[in-house]
Amino acid sequence: MKKIKLTVPLPESISLNRLISRHWGANKRVKDQICGDLYFLLCEKIGCGFGEVDKVCVKYTLHSPHFLDLDNAEAGVRKILNDCIVRAGLIKNDRPEHLENGGFEMVMDDSRFVEVEIKVLQKNGRRIK
């Protein structure tokens, strides 16, 4: 399990501007749906009960039909999906000792999803090459 590539569908825009202007309950419903989808995709890719790793590097590529302010789009995507990776049990928490920034890109097309590339850097105290 060195590299995991997932395509996570987005029910709606998750830019930072959208997140801070909506009611927390609406944000929770969106986040719960995205986290459920991400967990299902992880189970499909590497099997459920995959276990926690020490450190990962995550790269996100957001596909959106609308132009979004890049820093707001990145903040929204990272906040929700990093939390989902923790909630799925892949890493202990989203502090820097467990989660490394692998980059962020945005592609404008007619779709709304995020490509997530997770590279396992360390498991059981051993660095993975």
Using pLDDT thresholds of 50, 70 and 90, give the confidence band for residue 22. Answer: confident
Higher pLDDT: 50 or 90? It is 90
Higher pLDDT: 14 or 76? It is 76
Q: Could you tell me what percent of the chain has a pLDDT over 90?
A: 60
Of residues 105, 115, 34, the one with CA closest to residue 70: 105
pLDDT digits (tens, 9 = 90+) for 32-45: 999 999 999 999 98
pLDDT digits (tens, 9 = 90+) for 54-81: 999 999 999 998 888 889 889 999 999 9
pTM: 0.88
Amino acid found at 87: R
Q: How many domains does the chain have?
A: 1
Query: Which CATH number fits the domain that encloses residue 19?
Result: 3.30.1330.70
